[in-house]
Amino acid sequence: MLPRELAPRFALSQAALFYESDPWTRELFAMGEMVQGRLEAEIARCVVDLDCDPGFRPPEDEDGVCKVHTDFGETIWQEEGFPTAEEIDRLLDRYHRPFHDVLARTANRGAVRLGMDCHSMLPVGPPKAKGAGKKRPWFCISNFGDSEGEGDDVTASAELMASLKEALEKEFGEDDRDEDVDLVRMNDPFDGGYILERHGRGYTPWIRLSINHSVYLQQTESYDEVPDSDRELIATVRRRLLKVLATFAESID
């Protein structure tokens, strides 16, 4: 969503906003009673990025908590329309701080064994992103580690990462995909974000899971139009993801 008071100054098309908003992840990762708690982003990521440190903000950081341009270099706001410092403060008070406060309380419940930060990703890295122009895997799982999930300051153990990778491979490994597209990669193209950084440093492990748009969206030649969305396919992918996570949950101590 866009805050009503800022909508007249917003410059992106509906298609650009679609691709900037983790499309259909709300439906794909609807896990129902499988989880202790679930928290959804309500605000468009290009207006307030909940996975970004609130201290990273323009003009010092144009790709910070409030974006100036998309990953394709499109201007998000009309001329002179970018939120003022006071408006950014209000946006953070309204959306960013409450989201992380609730997330912290939910994740610290005694019965929670793992936190999962769920995203989607474009099939090819956009111009301003890490790995620009390179094809991305169907799934990226992240813990601030290396390609094996290992590291000195990871948010989940390499064993947990390997278990999730194995569960994804078991469910999706026989599906047709381009030969040069990996099924699962660890920490590539994403090694983590602010959500993992802030909430994954306690006793509860955290993993970021990103799914490629090509798994569930019809691919188009450009990003100038909102693609057709096959609700039946999205529902099928959701059921398969639930199977993956149910298998993976058995490996969590």
Per-residue H/E/C for the chain? CCCCCCHHHECCCHHHHHHCCCCCHHHHCCCHHHCCCCCCCCCCCCCCCCCCCCCCCCCCCCECCCECECCCCCECECCCCCCCHHHHHHHHHHHHHHHHHHHHHHHCCCCCCCEEEEEEECCEECCCCCCECCECCCEEEECCCCCCCCCCCCCCCHHHHHHHHHHHHHHHCCCCCCCCCCCEEECCCCCCCHHHHHHCCCCCCEEEEEEEHHHCCCCCCCCCCCCCCCHHHHHHHHHHHHHHHHHHHCCCC
Mean pLDDT per block of 10 residues along the chain (253 residues) reads 92 92 93 85 94 93 93 93 95 96 84 92 90 94 98 96 98 95 98 96 92 92 85 96 93 78
Q: Find out whether 229 and 217 touch, Cβ atoms under 8 Å.
A: yes
Using alpha carbons, select from 187, 39, 50, 186 the residue that is nearest to residue 115.
Answer: 39
Count other Cβ atoms within 10 Å, centred on residue 185. 18
Count other Cβ atoms within 10 Å, centred on residue 243. 12
What does the pLDDT read at residue 253? 67
What does the pLDDT read at residue 18? 92
Question: Cα 204 from chain centroid?
Answer: 19
